[in-house]
C-alpha cells in the first residue's frame, strides 16, 4: 500500500471521527405514494424493504404517513380508513425480518382526551410493530391542517435499534424555529422544541420522516433548518421526504444525510423516487444533486404535477385551447413533456377579434410539438347566443357580457372535446390573472388542473424563454407580442391592468409577503395604484372560489393554502 492510499485512509478516518454515532447502515427510501391506495403502497414499501435488506441495510426509513400517502385530509375521520392503515402497517411489519423499518401512519389516541389520532412513525422489526413515535408539532397554517386531525405528542423517548439510540422525529418536529416569510409572522410557532427534549436523552442520531411540499424557496429553507439542527446538537441527521404530486401539492424529495457538523453529506434526487444506503460510521465524500435554477425547478415541479395528476386520476390524455398567446403555449409544451405528444390534442378557436398572427402562432407551436390540432371558429355559436339574448338585451351597448360569451363558448367546445374523448382539460390561467380576476368564470377558467395558476405572468415569460433556450419551440412572436385576451377589437391587457412587471411586484408583496398597501407603496408605487390592485384581488375572491386546483410552486398559492372570507369588506 503506497503512501497515497494511506493519506486517503487517514483523511477518511478524519471524516469518521466527527461522527459520534458508532455506525449503522440505513436505507433512505424516497417514494411517490398514492393517498389511500393501501395495496399499492404496501407493495412499494415492502419491495424497498426487501431491497434494503438485500443491500445490507439494518434499517429502512420511509417518509411521513408513507402507509397512507400524505395528506389524507378528512379520510382520517373514517374508521375504515384508519383500520385499513393499521392493517397495512401490520402487513408491512410482517416483511421486516432481518431488517427494521420506520414507516409513517396514523394511530389511534387511546387516551380519554384529545383528538382521535396521532401522526406516528412506527418502528417495525421482527415481523411486528415494536415501537411508536408521535409527532409533536402539527403544522396548521397555509396548506397544512394537521391539528384538524391529530393530537400533539408530549412525551419523548428514543428508538433503541442495533444498540444505538435514535431521536425519531416527524417533519415539523424539527421546525420549532422557522424562517419567517413575512414581517408579521412568528419564528417560534410552538410552545415546545422536540429536539430539546430528545437531546436530554442523549441520542446518537436524528431521523426525520417528512412530507415537505415543494415551493421555489423550500429547498433552501429546509437545508438551513436541517443543517442547523444537526450542528446545534452535534448529531448526524437522516432526512427522508416523499416525492410525487398530490393534486395541488408537489413533493420534491431531495432527502438528505447530514453530518454532525451540519455539512450535507448525501443529497437524493429531486422530483422522482430514489433509494440510498448510507453508513453512518463512515461516510463517503459528499455528493450533491446537480443544481437547478428557480425556473428550471418550477418546470420540473409542474411536469411532475401534471404527470401525477393524470396518473393518479387514471387519465392519459389532455386537451387545451391554444390561443397563440404565451400562457397556453407554455401549458402545451409542459403537457407534451409530461404526457407525450400522442396524448395531447388542442383546439384553436378564433373569433372575429383573433389576429391572424394568433392562429399562425398556435399552428406553428402545435406543429413544433407534433400534436393534433383542430381549428373551430367560434363566431357562429357566439352569434347564436347573441341572437338568443337579443330580445332581452335590446339596444344595450356591448360590454364585458359579450366578451365573456366568447370565452364561455370556447369553454363549451373544449369541454365537449374533453367529454367525448376522455381528455382532461388543462387550464391556462396564470397567477396574475387569478389574482385580479382577469378571466371568465365558466370560460377560460375551466379546467381540471391549473398548470400555471401559481406563476405570475412575468414568471410565465421566464419559463417560456427557458423552454426556448436551446431552440425556438414556442414561436418567438407569442413571447414578444403585447398580451391580449382578444375579446374586442385591439384589446390589450394593459388597457385594464398595469404593465405586468409592476402588477406582479405589487401582487407578490400583497399575497406572498402580506405587506399592507402603505408598505407596498413605500417600495416605489403610487398608493392609489396599489389600492386599485388590492381592491381587484379582494373583489375576485368569488371567482377563485370556483377555480380549478392550482399546482403550487410558491410559498403562497391561491386555493387551499389561502383562505379568505367571501363576504368580507376590508
Catalytic residues: 64, 135, 171
Q: How far is the CB of 423 from a copy of itself (least distance, A)?
A: 11
Q: Which is nearer to a copy of itself, 128 or 148 (CB)?
A: 148
Q: Which is nearer to a copy of itself, 204 or 559 (CB)?
A: 559
Are 348 and 374 within 8 A, CB to CB?
yes
Q: Calculate the dihedral angle through the C-alpha atoms of 117, 121, 122, 124, rounding to the nearest 10 degrees.
A: 160
Q: How far is the CB of 90 from a copy of itself (least distance, A)?
A: 18
Q: Which is nearer to a copy of itself, 190 or 257 (CB)?
A: 190
Q: How far is the CB of 472 from a copy of itself (least distance, A)?
A: 29
Q: Calculate the dihedral angle through the C-alpha atoms of 176, 71, 445, 510, rounding to the nearest 10 degrees.
A: -10
Q: Which is nearer to a copy of itself, 34 or 357 (CB)?
A: 34
Q: How far is the CB of 552 from a copy of itself (least distance, A)?
A: 13
Q: How far is the CB of 218 from a copy of itself (least distance, A)?
A: 19
CA–CA distance, 5 with 265 (Å, rounded to integer): 22
Q: Which is nearer to a copy of itself, 112 or 285 (CB)?
A: 112
Q: Where are the alpha helices (DSSP H) in 55-189?
A: 79-93
Are 104 and 63 within 8 A, CB to CB?
yes
CA–CA distance, 233 with 208 (Å, rounded to integer): 14
Are 239 and 255 within 8 A, CB to CB?
yes
Q: How far is the CB of 555 from a copy of itself (least distance, A)?
A: 13
Q: Closest Cα to residue 40, out of 67, 63, 61, 1?
A: 67
**Cell numbers for 533:** 390592485
Q: How far is the CB of 173 from a copy of itself (least distance, A)?
A: 15
- Sign for the CA dihedral angle at 250, 564, 138, 181 comes to positive
Q: Map grid coordinates 405589487 to a residue.
A: 506
In degrees, rounded to 5, the angle at the alpha carbon of residue 550 between the alpha carbons of residues 547 and 554 is 130
* Gap between the terminal Cα atoms of the chain: 76
Per 3-state DSSP, the chain is made up of helix, strand and coil in percentages (nearest 5) of 40, 20, 40
**Cell numbers for 18:** 466527527
Q: Which is nearer to a copy of itself, 122 or 450 (CB)?
A: 450
**Cell numbers for 132:** 411508536
What secondary structure does DSSP assign to 368-399, as a single string? HHT-EEEE---HHHHHHHHHHHHHHHTTPPP-
Other CB atoms within 10 Å distance of the CB of residue 524: 8
φ/ψ (deg, to 5) at 397: -65, 150
Q: Which is nearer to a copy of itself, 140 or 368 (CB)?
A: 140
Amino acid at each position: 500500500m503506497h503512501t497515497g492510499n494511506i493519506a486517503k485512509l487517514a483523511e477518511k478516518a478524519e471524516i469518521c471521527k466527527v461522527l459520534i454515532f458508532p455506525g449503522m447502515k440505513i436505507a433512505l427510501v424516497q417514494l411517490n405514494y398514492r393517498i389511500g391506495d393501501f395495496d399499492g403502497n404496501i407493495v412499494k414499501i415492502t419491495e424497498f424493504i426487501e431491497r434494503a435488506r438485500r443491500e445490507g441495510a439494518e434499517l429502512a426509513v420511509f417518509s411521513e404517513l408513507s402507509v397512507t400517502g400524505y395528506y389524507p385530509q378528512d379520510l382520517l375521520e373514517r374508521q375504515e380508513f384508519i383500520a385499513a392503515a393499521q392493517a397495512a402497517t401490520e402487513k408491512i411489519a410482517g416483511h421486516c425480518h432481518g431488517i427494521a423499518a420506520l414507516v409513517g401512519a396514523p394511530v389511534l389516541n387511546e387516551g380519554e382526551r384529545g383528538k382521535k389520532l396521532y401522526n406516528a412513525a412506527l418502528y417495525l422489526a421482527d415481523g411486528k410493530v415494536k415501537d411508536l413515535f408521535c409527532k409533536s408539532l402539527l403544522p396548521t397554517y397555509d396548506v397544512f391542517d394537521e391539528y384538524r386531525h391529530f393530537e400533539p405528542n408530549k412525551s419523548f423517548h428514543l428508538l433503541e435499534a442495533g444498540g444505538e439510540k435514535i431521536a425519531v422525529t416527524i417533519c415539523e418536529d424539527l421546525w420549532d424555529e422557522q424562517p419567517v416569510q413575512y414581517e408579521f409572522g412568528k419564528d417560534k410557532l410552538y410552545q415546545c422544541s422536540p429536539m430539546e427534549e430528545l437531546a436530554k436523552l442523549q441520542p446518537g442520531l436524528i431521523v426525520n420522516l417528512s412530507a415537505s411540499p415543494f415551493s421555489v424557496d423550500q429547498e433552501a429553507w429546509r437545508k438551513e433548518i436541517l443543517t442547523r439542527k444537526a450542528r446545534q446538537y452535534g448529531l448526524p441527521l437522516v432526512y427522508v421526504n416523499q416525492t410525487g404530486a398530490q393534486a395541488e401539492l408537489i413533493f420534491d424529495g431531495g432527502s438528505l444525510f447530514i453530518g454532525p457538523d451540519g455539512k450535507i453529506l448525501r443529497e437524493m434526487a429531486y422530483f422522482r423516487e430514489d433509494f440510498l444506503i448510507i453508513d453512518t460510521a463512515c461516510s463517503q465524500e459528499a455528493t450533491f444533486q446537480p443544481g437547478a435554477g428557480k425556473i428550471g425547478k418550477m418546470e420540473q415541479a409542474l411536469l411532475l404535477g401534471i404527470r401525477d395528476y393524470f396518473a393518479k386520476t387514471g387519465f392519459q390524455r389532455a386537451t387545451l385551447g391554444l390561443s397563440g398567446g404565451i400562457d397556453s403555449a407554455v401549458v402545451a409544451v409542459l403537457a407534451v413533456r409530461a404526457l407525450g405528444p400522442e396524448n395531447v390534442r388542442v383546439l384553436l378557436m378564433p373569433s372575429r377579434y383573433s389576429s391572424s398572427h394568433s392562429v399562425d402562432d398556435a399552428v406553428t407551436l402545435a406543429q413544433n410539438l407534433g400534436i393534433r390540432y383542430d381549428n373551430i371558429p367560434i363566431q357562429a355559436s357566439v352569434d347564436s347566443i347573441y341572437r338568443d339574448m337579443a330580445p332581452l338585451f335590446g339596444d344595450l351597448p356591448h360590454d364585458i357580457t359579450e366578451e365573456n360569451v366568447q370565452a364561455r363558448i370556447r369553454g363549451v367546445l373544449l369541454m365537449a372535446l374533453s367529454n367525448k374523448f376522455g381528455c382532461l382539460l388543462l387550464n391556462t390561467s396564470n397567477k396574475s390573472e387569478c389574482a385580479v380576476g382577469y378571466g371568465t368564470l365558466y370560460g377560460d377558467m375551466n379546467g381540471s388542473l391549473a398548470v400555471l395558476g401559481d406563476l405570475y405572468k412575468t414568471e410565465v415569460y421566464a419559463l417560456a424563454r427557458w423552454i426556448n433556450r436551446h431552440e425556438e419551440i414556442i414561436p418567438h412572436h407569442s413571447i414578444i407580442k403585447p398580451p391580449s385576451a382578444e375579446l374586442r377589437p385591439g384589446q390589450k391587457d394593459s388597457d385594464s391592468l398595469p404593465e405586468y412587471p409592476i402588477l406582479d411586484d405589487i401582487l407578490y408583496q400583497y399575497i406572498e409577503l402580506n405587506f399592507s398597501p402603505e408598505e407596498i407603496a413605500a417600495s416605489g408605487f403610487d398608493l392609489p395604484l396599489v389600492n386599485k390592485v388590492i381592491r381587484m384581488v379582494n373583489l375576485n375572491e368569488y371567482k377563485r372560489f370556483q377555480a380549478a386546483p392550482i399546482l403550487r410552486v410558491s410559498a403562497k398559492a391561491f386555493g387551499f393554502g389561502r383562505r379568505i372570507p367571501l363576504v368580507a369588506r376590508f
